[in-house]
């Protein structure tokens, strides 16, 4: 078995190793989006004003992006996140350095999103969003931290 970046490849024979290295260069996360059935789109709302945070005009990974406002340091701007649970594709108005903890706001009511719980992996605050159909998804506010928690009730 070979493990690369948290991806498991069972029953690997020596000739397959070079294929895995090739795939890794192409980006394992990208390949997963097409094949991994754990990756599925979520529609989310602001927990304060209940307004949808989906931006149908701007797509990431082929689905409407999640649009929120962030601030860090003296910068303030928009961020768009992939709505595919399990994808870390994002776009932002300002380049956010890795490990930066951002404050997140609803672009509609401007309430701050978060501070209800902290990330088990890094201790930053988790940002809770209401999932259409029931439940809450929480995403870590630290850039680069891959802690997501989905609690579907």
- By the criterion CB under 5 A, which residues form the site for Zn ion? 46, 48-49, 106, 108-109, 119, 121-122, 124, 140, 142, 145, 147
Query: How far apart are CB 68 and Zn ion at their closest, in Å?
Result: 10
Q: Could you tell me which of 148, 116, 118, 128 has the C-alpha nearest to residue 47?
A: 128
Q: Could you tell me which of 65, 73, 62, 69 has the C-alpha nearest to residue 108?
A: 69
Per the CB < 8 A criterion, the answer to whether 117 and 140 are in contact is: no
Per the CB < 8 A criterion, the answer to whether 104 and 141 are in contact is: yes
DSSP category for residue 17: H
Query: How far apart are CB 88 and Zn ion at their closest, in Å?
Result: 12
> In whole angstroms, how far apart are CA 45 and each of 1, 28, 136, 145?
41, 30, 9, 22
Per the CB < 8 A criterion, the answer to whether 97 and 130 are in contact is: no
Nearer to Zn ion, 82 or 125 (CB): 125
Query: How far apart are CB 6 and Zn ion at their closest, in Å?
Result: 15
Nearer to Zn ion, 34 or 98 (CB): 98
Nearer to Zn ion, 83 or 141 (CB): 141
Query: How far apart are CB 31 and Zn ion at their closest, in Å?
Result: 24
Nearer to Zn ion, 49 or 91 (CB): 49
Query: How far apart are CB 10 and Zn ion at their closest, in Å?
Result: 29
Nearer to Zn ion, 31 or 109 (CB): 109
């Amino acid at each position: 078995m070979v493990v690369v970046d948290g991806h498991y490849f069972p029953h690997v024979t020596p000739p397959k190793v070079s294929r895995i290295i090739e795939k890794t260069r192409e980006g394992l996360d990208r390949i997963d989006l097409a094949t991994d059935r754990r990756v599925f789109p979520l529609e989310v709302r602001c927990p304060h004003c209940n307004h949808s945070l989906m931006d149908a005009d701007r797509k990431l990974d082929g689905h409407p992006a999640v649009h929120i406002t962030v601030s860090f340091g003296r910068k303030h701007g928009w961020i768009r996140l992939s709505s595919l649970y399990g994808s870390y594709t994002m776009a932002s108005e300002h380049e956010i350095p890795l490990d930066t903890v951002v404050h997140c706001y609803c672009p509609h009511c401007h309430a701050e999103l978060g501070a209800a719980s902290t990330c088990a992996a890094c201790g930053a605050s988790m940002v809770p969003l209401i999932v259409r159909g029931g439940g809450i998804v929480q995403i870590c506010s630290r850039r680069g931290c891959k802690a997501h928690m989905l609690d579907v009730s």
